[in-house]
Amino acid sequence: MSNHSNLKKELITVVRNNMRQYTMIVALLFIWGLFWAVTGGVFLSSRNLSNLFMQMVTIAILTHGMLLVMVAGNIDLSVGSVCGTLGALVAWLMVTKGLGPVPAILITLLAGLAVGLWHGFWIALRGVVSWVVTLSSMLAFKGLTLLITKGQTIGEFKPGFKSIGQEYFLNSVFEGKALSQFTAALFGIALVAFIISEIRTRMKRIRNGFSVLSMPFAIAKIAIISAGIIVMGWIMSSYRGIPNSVIILIIVASVYIIITTRTRFGRHVYAIGGNMEAARLSGINIRKTIMGICISIGLMSSIAAIVFTSRLNAATTAAGSLFELDAIAACIIGGTATTGGIGTIFGALIGALVMASLDNGMALMDLPVMYQYTVKGLVLLFAVWIDMINRKK
């Protein structure tokens, strides 16, 4: 009876500590179920879900950079305009200047880093508040996009560049059943790696004297996430395999998980967002950390721009419109506190998937754009309300 009581208390604690993420996962499943019913099952088809993951990549990549910005208690309103400008830049370099995809991509990545340094100069070194700096950049980069494109669409790109956002991993090497088996094998490796990682992390925490979940809850956590990996593998292997853009997203997510959970820089970001004065008194270099955050989101903007431009096979004057709002909404929906100090990569990815699911499902329903904006706005409002309730508790 005592053991049952302890498990019950632990369940309540786990749910309370992760209420926001669990709420959003339930909301995501509800959204998927609703669109499945309304679209006659089309929404949950392997083809549509594969396209859905491709569509979410751009915002998901931006969300990683935005997460660090918001955790540190700042905001970036310029990522949409920056993404549009960098997308126009990579297209202009290839189509107008005749550069190959590789040098054009490298220049675009450097341009993204330069944007991050520019923002970091004003925010970290000159003390200008982030929303003012990025608001001015939002306007400036809209003008730069028009300057680069001259108000016209720039395209068509070489197959090597288009493959980034449109093709599937090793699709030209494996076909049919072989492709399905190859994709399933990749997810099988990922599943085994995840389970081994969870076990090693648990053993390390026990050796160092940290608290861990009880064995039933630890097994339940591994089982649930493993089920998610298996379902993802089934979806990808049932269609055309893993999109190249999703591979890029997996790499970005893996890097940021390490940054936020296992590096001094990541701990400093959370410390600054939790209490900047306490962080300063503890010896954290505030300026250096904020500069790193600005460089991070600048780089993510360039990667997102490259993927988005490749998927569209064109650069337009409207590219990047409202990306900043989708990235901010994804972070908030995924549990990032509006006041800073709280947020996870997993939660941000769930938020990005929620936003992409809404876009995809409403498009399948042929819902007018005016209603799509209204629905997304209400979802964001609901997420902020949940955040306020959690902070009061």
Q: Which H, E and C letters describe 47-95, residue by residue?
A: HHHHHHHHHHHHHHHHHHHHHHHHHCCCCCCCHHHHHHHHHHHHHHHHH
Q: Which two tokens stand for residue 271?
A: 């410390």
327 within 8 A of 59, measured Cβ to Cβ: yes
Question: Distance from first CA to last CA of the chain, Å, rounded?
Answer: 29
Residue 101 has pLDDT above 80, yes or no: yes
pLDDT for the residue 71: 95
Report d(CA 380, CA 386) in Å as an integer.
10
The residue count for the chain? 393
Residue matched to tokens 């409403």: 362
Which tokens in the block code for residue 219?
Answer: 């097994």
Q: Is the peptide bond before 156 cis (omega within 30 degrees of 0)?
A: yes
Q: What's the mean per-residue pLDDT of the chain?
A: 86
Q: Which residue, 370, 288, 384, 317, is CA-closest to 151?
A: 317
Torsion angle, CA of 89/56/74/21, rounded to 10 degrees? -170
Angle at Cα 148 formed by Cα 143 and Cα 153, nearest 5°? 105
pLDDT digits over 160-206, tens only? 899 998 888 766 556 666 767 777 888 888 889 889 988 888 888 88
Residue 384 has pLDDT above 70, yes or no: yes
pLDDT of amino acid 166: 86
DSSP state of 175: -
- Rounded to whole angstroms, the Cα distance separating 151 from 316 reads 8
Q: Is 73:266 a contact under the CB 8 Å cutoff?
A: no
pLDDT of 297 above 90? yes
Per-residue pLDDT band at 14 (split at 50, 70, 90): low
208: its two tokens: 């160092």
CB–CB of 133/330 below 8 Å? no
Query: Per-residue pLDDT averaged across 206-227, rounded?
Result: 80
Q: In whole angstroms, what is the distance from residue 74 CA to residue 61 CA?
A: 18
Task: Give SS3 for 315.
Answer: strand
The structure tokens listed for 25 are 């996962």
What residue has token string 């993404």? 83
What local confidence, expressed as pLDDT, does residue 223 receive?
A: 87
| b/e burial code for range 182-220 (CB count within 10 A of at least 16 → b) | bbbebbeeebeeeeeebeeebeeeeeeeeeebeeeeeee
Q: CATH 1.10.3470 spans which residues of the chain?
A: 40-167+244-392
pLDDT at position 369: 83
Query: Are 162 and 105 within 8 A, CB to CB?
Result: no
Give the model's pLDDT for residue 1.
Answer: 46
pLDDT at 239: 79
User: Among candidates 71, 92, 67, 91, which has minimal Cα distance to 79?
Assistant: 67
CA-based nearest residue to 188, from 248, 234, 245, 240: 234
The distance from CA 357 to its chain's CA centroid, rounded to whole angstroms, is: 14
pLDDT digits (tens, 9 = 90+) for 309-359: 999 999 988 888 889 989 998 998 888 888 888 888 988 998 899 889 998
Q: In the CATH scheme, what architecture does the domain 40-167+244-392 have? A: Orthogonal Bundle (1.10)
Residue 15 pLDDT > 80: no
Q: What is the mean pLDDT of residues 226-238?
A: 82
pLDDT band at residue 304 using 50, 70 and 90 as cut-offs? very high
pLDDT value, residue 390? 65
| Contact call for residues 45 and 289 (beta carbons, < 8 A) | no
- Which candidate, 91, 104, 84, 97, places its Cα nearest to that of 145? 84
Say if residue 120's pLDDT is above 90. yes
pLDDT band at 49 (very low <50, low <70, confident <90, very high): confident
